[in-house]
């Protein structure tokens, strides 16, 4: 696994214009930007932490919470909206007690609202760890989440 030093070694002498690519590399390594990694980037680039955080939080691509073992991406594009994705989103937020961008306390699930994932004919679409589910309803998503809970218990 890559370390922060491995990443920094590729940016020797870097200035602030390398901030975004460095943050992208860190997120690719860890799946999110932790406080410690932001602090390390701040020291490496000799930029204030507030500046680093300000830039990172401007872009949707950066996440500040550790993703759950099962990362739920719920599409809120137009086709999915028309087919009822808002109800599915409300239900999943209520069930898991998290908002988009958050992870459940047990670390099992994280939720991300995404724009069209290019599978509009299957709307509403939910993707969990890269697996797509079509025509999702609040009820069917409940059952889907149960299968992941079971999977997790079995250590898969």
CA–CA separation, 75 and 65 (whole Å): 20
The smaller minimum CB distance to ligand FES, of residues 63 and 83, is found at 83
Judged by CB under 6 A, the chain residues 97 through 116 that form the site for ligand FES are 116
Choose between 68 and 124: whose C-beta lies nearer to ligand FES.
124
Residue 77 interacts with ligand FES (CB under 6 A): yes or no: yes
Closest contact distance (angstroms) between CB of 12 and ligand FES is 42
- Choice between 108 and 116, CB closer to ligand FES: 116
91 lines the binding site for ligand FES (CB under 6 A) = no
* Cis-peptide, bond into residue 124, ω within 30° of zero: yes
Structure tokens at 33: 């930007």
Does the footprint of ligand FES cover residue 75 (CB under 6 A)? yes
Q: How far is the CB of 74 from ligand FES (least distance, A)?
A: 9
Q: Should residue 126 be labelled a site residue for ligand FES when binding is judged by CB under 6 A?
A: no
117 sits near ligand FES (criterion: CB under 6 A): yes
Binding site for ligand FES (CB under 6 A): 75, 77-80, 116-120, 123, 125
């Amino acid at each position: 696994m890559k370390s922060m030093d491995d990443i920094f070694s590729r940016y020797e002498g870097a200035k602030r214009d390398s901030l975004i690519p460095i943050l992208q590399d860190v997120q690719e390594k860890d799946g999110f930007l932790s406080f410690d990694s932001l602090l390390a980037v701040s020291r490496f680039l000799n930029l204030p932490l507030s500046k680093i955080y300000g830039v990172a939080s401007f872009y949707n691509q950066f996440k500040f919470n550790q993703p759950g073992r099962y990362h739920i991406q719920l599409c809120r594009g137009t086709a999915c909206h028309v087919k009822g994705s808002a109800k599915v989103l409300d239900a999943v937020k209520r069930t898991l007690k998290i908002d988009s961008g958050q992870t459940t306390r047990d670390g099992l699930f994280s939720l991300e609202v995404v724009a069209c994932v290019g599978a509009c004919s299957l709307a509403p679409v939910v993707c969990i760890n890269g697996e797509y589910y079509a025509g999702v309803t609040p009820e069917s998503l409940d059952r889907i989440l149960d299968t992941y809970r079971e999977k997790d218990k079995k250590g898969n």
